[in-house]
Amino acid sequence: MILNQQQIQKNRKIRIHPPPTESQLQPCSIDLRLDDEYLQPIPDEKVDPQKNSPNYEYITGEKIIIPPHHFILGSTIETVEIPKNIVARVEGRSSIGRLGLTVHVTAGFIDPNFRGNITLEIANLSNNSIVLHKGMRICQIVFEEINEPEQVYGECGNKYQNQIGVTGSMVHYDNEFEGGI
């Protein structure tokens, strides 16, 4: 069952810091805001997930311009803490999507027990440059109750627990590759 605004606010185990403002509260979600740090993959480098992750250029600033058909990683200002009986999903806001901007390529799912900032996979699918500003409501988080799983995030070799700020890919640590977790 997807939680509505009142259920989200009453659930003391769902923690969002800093606490959402009134403008961030939606009927069944909470809008999250964009922070001021980004990772931009270095173009034209070969990435072999078995051996390495992309090299990134670290960028910080109150605003960033995303050219048409470009990709960066960003982060939410908010840190979230998900309890063991809740899963969450990060979704794009309609107003942002209508600009041609996605906020996650495939990683919109947040496991029970996750703690940290949410890294956003921001892609400009449009033919126009898009200016992003620190503090803008960039995405929304949706919460859903589940039966408590036997294993939760952080207990089964997860790589991103307690991430702070924007975090690049660590796919080369996957257990199917040599040296994995």
Q: String of b and e for 27-64 (b: at least 16 CB within 10 Å)?
A: eebbbbbbbbbbbbbeeeeeeeeeeeebebeeeeeeeb
CB 125 within 8 A of CB 114: no
State the catalytic residues. Answer: 121
Residue type, 84: K
Q: Using CA of residue 73, residue 19, residue 31, residue 113, what is the dihedral sign?
A: positive
